[in-house]
Structure 1
Amino acid sequence: MMRHAIASLLVLIVAGVGLSAAAPSRVKRFGVPLSAEMACAPGIDNATFATDPDDCGMFYICDRGWPKRMRCAQNTIWTPRGRHDGKCELPEDAVNDDCQFVYAPVTEAIEGCPFQCDDGQCVHLAAVCDGKTQCEDGSDESGCAETCDEMKCRLPGCFCSGTEIPGRLLTNEVPQMVLITWEGGIRANDYLHLYRQLLNKRSAARRREPRTNPNGCPITNTFFGFHEYTDYMAAQVLHKDRHEIGTLSISHRLPSEFWRDASQEEWRQEMADHRIIYENLGFIPQSDVRGMRAPYLQVGGNNQFRMMAENNFLYDNSMPTPQHDPPMWPYTLDYLSTQTCVLPPCPTQSFPGIWEVPMVDYLDLNDTLCNEIDNCAFPASKDEALELLHMNFERHYRSNRAPFPLHLRPRWFYEAHYTIEAIEEFLDELQAMGDVYMVTVSQAIKWIQMPTRLMDIKNFGPWKCDDAVGGADVCERPISCGYYNITIHPNSEDHPGERWISTCADSCPPSYPFTGNPEGL
């Protein structure tokens, strides 16, 4: 039956529809300003960094002559210091003539105020619950979660943020967990030509067989999907194969500031309602969609985490951290986090039982921090790709064995064939080690809640594979649902487009499911 399903998926691959607006004359291609492209060009300026003339929080790292877009942490400004140096500075210390930046102290309530004190004063988001009173009335330090007390915060329900191994186990007693996560629309094309290739290993008989962990169970990945361009039959197949399905929102809308400022209700419509679509079209029980990642890694502060608590989400996996030597372990938000807040607003109130799984930064081959592997300097060869993976894995494996993240997007593999070869070889090496387990984010949290020594891990129940997976069986022939004159991004009223959904449902929703109407009625 599964073979028929996969064949049907191949038939239903539909190319994504997208429209691009005419670019301003100073933008050459891929949305990169011409000034940045010229600054990085080896034959012109040969710079290391370039600025953005329109966005003072944006800068570019010159990667083999091409500007690679980067963004400063929220409320900081890129400050160039010549062609080969620069850093992100607080507004009061920043100088950027290229974007005509002028520092204007925020002293009174205005539209767009980052954080408004009870008395009307405005302060930066980074000042909220930082232990220093910035509001004259003290309201920036009001309602903050308390500093974590290890005597009160006990497993399985609570765990303080930090680098300490759960259960106070010794390093050599801890299985090294590897969290392979994927982000984006769950497309049939990627399932057929990428996911299956990496999830399965070519055997001595030259047949593809599932990669397995040392306990004999197939490795498992976590897929954070957004609604548009997701093939729900592909999501259903992955769920049936014991991979975890999480949400990246329904709309994945721009600009990223939307997510920073979104209300609790807007977060609910985007994240909790996505479970309805997963269940109706992918037959994935809503209770199985336990985790989420914020689009563009722009968390929404207390509004986001209140929504998670009220809708029974288990964890968030959105917050990058440069604290990687040793790396941070996942932790609960019962108490105030010690994780660096890279993209405010981060949660500042207490959210008992909600887990934060930090996106521990890599250090790439240019000594630059990056969190998703396609944000790192692109490797020039298979050997460079392997070096990137090895040196970051070793940092986890040789220190406190906090879960090692491998955050992937399909585009990294489609840029060069050797990236697939490198990942396959890397996964082969991990499989051969005997103390490495490739598990879902939820499975990693289960281990943290019940720390189990490596010598006993093969009997650890949450990592076994002998129980049935919930949800309906995958059909042999899915139906294809087409929707026309769609005006949501990247389309518009002037340039409508179309959307297609493959599903094992008996019939298509009358309307295209989306925010405000997840059932498509």
Structure 2
Amino acid sequence: MKWALVAFTLLLVASAIAEEVGNDLEIAKECNEATCILPNCRCSSTDIPGGLDPRDTPQLVLLTFDDGVNVVNVQKYRTLYGRKNKNGCPIGVTYFVNHEYTNYRLVNELYNMGFEIALHSISHQTPQTYWAEATYETMMREFADQKRQMAHFANIPINDIHGMRIPFLQMSGNSSFQMMNSAGLTYDSSWPTSRFTNPGLWPYTLDYASTQDCMIPPCPTASIPGPWVLPLITWFDLNGFPCSFVDACIFRPDINDEEAWFRFIMGNFERHYKGNRAPFGFYVHEWFITSTPAIRRAFTRFLDLLNNLHDVFMVNASEAIEFARNPVKIDEYKKKACRSRPFAPCPFKSCGPLTAEHTLMTYWMEVCTACPNVYPWLGNPLGN
């Protein structure tokens, strides 16, 4: 009787997991390194891709900004123009852009300056449970449609949009990764880890079960070949608490103490640089740097230092994934051609007032194409 009860309980658990995963997906199994090989499959691991030694591994640094692009924050973004790594190539920066209050003419400008444009949803709406419970169909409306929307209004090639970050870093289980396959997106940068920080967790795929800690559930449980996970390796504040974004750190230096802020940034960076050189993320919102002169100066000092180190490279998120897929030693990495792409023109138009059908509010937009008929939103991303 006891074993019958155990068997029945296990059956109920298995049924619940199967229901969570979905009828068309298989539960992910433990990773098999013999069959999961680069460039298209990688187990979740702190091992350096390609078996490289840390001293031979380029230290990649990812600077990312979230939310809308507008006339206020673009002033800070323009201060990054012209910066170069020690190999002579322009630095990489990734912008995770949401739709509302975004100036698409300025998105086009950032793209033409060589920076990466990625997705942060159309609505960026609350409550957070909206994202936790988001279905495949919801994620298609938020991100697959935003990919078309971004390419259209900013007049940038749709095939140059590779990545996404879910608002509030709220994972959506399997649905977001299913959507990525349908939408032709390469990587997700929404999943924090505080467990795999020293050594850090390198990017990996979801062909097999992830070993990453699930800080903001639900996390994926299915085998979903194709999309890459770019883990957000947390920083640690002055009291040792993890923080996924710089501005989310609770116990941090005094906002007027430039030297303390510089040491704080360097301490988190050196954990990567002196460790297994997993990509170091400086994930932040623009306002946090701009609003405080001491933090702004410490940030600039940090960038100056990075750009003068021969084995450190500021890259965009797509380039970090490309390195994980095709790892090479520092000397070979230095010889790689700098990224380049054709200029994307922007014969911009100012549009408005445009009525938003979901709220009846009015908006104004700057776009690189014809003006929409109504304010673009979920279900009508081009405003037809």
* Gaps in structure 1 of 5+ consecutive residues: 1-132, 201-209
Q: How does 1:21-32 map to 2 (within 5 A)?
A: none
1:153 and 2:26 are equivalent in the alignment: no
Cα distance in 2 between the residues matched to 1:375 and 1:303:
26
Structure 1 counterpart of 2:225, one-letter code: P
Cα distance in 1 between the residues matched to 2:231 and 2:200:
9
Query: Secondary structure of 1:400's match?
Result: coil
User: Structure 1 residues 313, 484: closer, same or farther in 2, change over 3 A?
Assistant: closer
User: Structure 1 residues 265, 434: closer, same or farther in 2, change over 3 A?
Assistant: same
1:379 and 2:253 are equivalent in the alignment: yes
1:399 and 2:281 are equivalent in the alignment: no
Contact 2:354 2:373 in 1 (8 A): no
Cα distance in 2 between the residues matched to 1:414 and 1:420:
6
Give deviations 1:17-71, integer Å, cap 9, x for gaps. Answer: xxxxxxxxxxxxxxxxxxxxxxxxxxxxxxxxxxxxxxxxxxxxxxxxxxxxxxx
Bigger-Rg structure (1/2):
1
1:500 and 2:361 are equivalent in the alignment: no
Structure 2 counterpart of 1:374, one-letter code: D
Cα distance in 1 between the residues matched to 2:159 and 2:106:
19
Count of residues in Structure 1 that have an aligned counterpart in Structure 2: 365
User: Structure 1 residues 147, 499: closer, same or farther in 2, change over 3 A?
Assistant: same
Query: Secondary structure of 1:189's match?
Result: coil
Shift of 1:414: 3.7
Shift of 1:137: 5.1
Aligned to 2:5: none
* Gaps in structure 2 of 5+ consecutive residues: 1-8, 19-25
Cα distance in 1 between the residues matched to 2:312 and 2:39:
23
User: Structure 1 residues 235, 135: closer, same or farther in 2, change over 3 A?
Assistant: farther
User: Structure 1 residues 498, 418: closer, same or farther in 2, change over 3 A?
Assistant: farther
Q: How does 1:63-74 map to 2 (within 5 A)?
A: none
Shift of 1:487: 6.8
1:241 is aligned, of 108, 113, 116, to 113
Shift of 1:353: 2.1
Aligned to 1:255: 127
2:209 is aligned, of 333, 336, 341, to 336
Query: Secondary structure of 1:301's match?
Result: coil
1:415 is aligned, of 291, 294, 298, to 291
Shift of 1:417: 1.4
Aligned to 2:53: 170
Contact 1:242 1:469 in 2 (8 A): no
Q: How does 1:323-472 map to 2 (within 5 A)?
A: 323-377=196-250, 378-380=252-254, 381-461=257-337, 464-465=338-339, 467-469=340-342, 472=344
Structure 2 counterpart of 1:315, one-letter code: Y
Contact 2:28 2:221 in 1 (8 A): yes
User: Structure 1 residues 134, 224: closer, same or farther in 2, change over 3 A?
Assistant: farther
Aligned to 2:165: 293
Cα distance in 1 between the residues matched to 2:10 and 2:142:
33
* Structure 1 length-normalised TM: 0.68
Contact 1:382 1:421 in 2 (8 A): yes
1:211 and 2:87 are equivalent in the alignment: no
Contact 1:176 1:403 in 2 (8 A): yes
Give deviations 1:350-377, integer Å, cap 9, x for gaps. Answer: 1112100011110012322101111013
User: Structure 1 residues 369, 305: closer, same or farther in 2, change over 3 A?
Assistant: same
Structure 2 counterpart of 1:368, one-letter code: F
Query: Secondary structure of 1:402's match?
Result: coil
Q: How does 1:1-40 map to 2 (within 5 A)?
A: none
User: Structure 1 residues 219, 270: closer, same or farther in 2, change over 3 A?
Assistant: same
Contact 2:356 2:374 in 1 (8 A): no
2:175 is aligned, of 303, 318, 341, to 303
Contact 2:67 2:98 in 1 (8 A): yes
Shift of 1:134: 6.3
Shift of 1:194: 0.5
Contact 1:134 1:140 in 2 (8 A): no
Structure 2 counterpart of 1:184, one-letter code: D
Query: Secondary structure of 2:308's match?
Result: helix
Shift of 1:240: 1.1
Shift of 1:483: 2.9
User: Structure 1 residues 413, 497: closer, same or farther in 2, change over 3 A?
Assistant: farther
Query: Secondary structure of 2:307's match?
Result: helix
Supply the RMSD in Å over aligned alpha carbons.
1.7
Aligned to 2:78: 196
Identity %: 38
Contact 1:278 1:285 in 2 (8 A): no
Structure 1 counterpart of 2:291, one-letter code: E
1:186 and 2:69 are equivalent in the alignment: yes
Greater length-normalized contact order (CA 8 Å, ≥ 6 residues apart): 2
User: Structure 1 residues 137, 417: closer, same or farther in 2, change over 3 A?
Assistant: closer
Query: Secondary structure of 2:266's match?
Result: helix
Query: Secondary structure of 1:433's match?
Result: coil
Query: Secondary structure of 2:72's match?
Result: helix
Identify, as 1 or 2, the structure richer in helix.
2
Cα distance in 1 between the residues matched to 2:103 and 2:352:
12
Structure 1 counterpart of 2:371, one-letter code: C
Structure 2 counterpart of 1:382, one-letter code: E
Contact 2:65 2:94 in 1 (8 A): yes
User: Structure 1 residues 134, 248: closer, same or farther in 2, change over 3 A?
Assistant: farther
Query: Secondary structure of 1:318's match?
Result: coil
Aligned to 2:142: 270
* Structure 2 length-normalised TM: 0.91
Contact 2:356 2:377 in 1 (8 A): no
Shift of 1:415: 3.3
Aligned to 1:283: 155
Structure 1 counterpart of 2:377, one-letter code: F
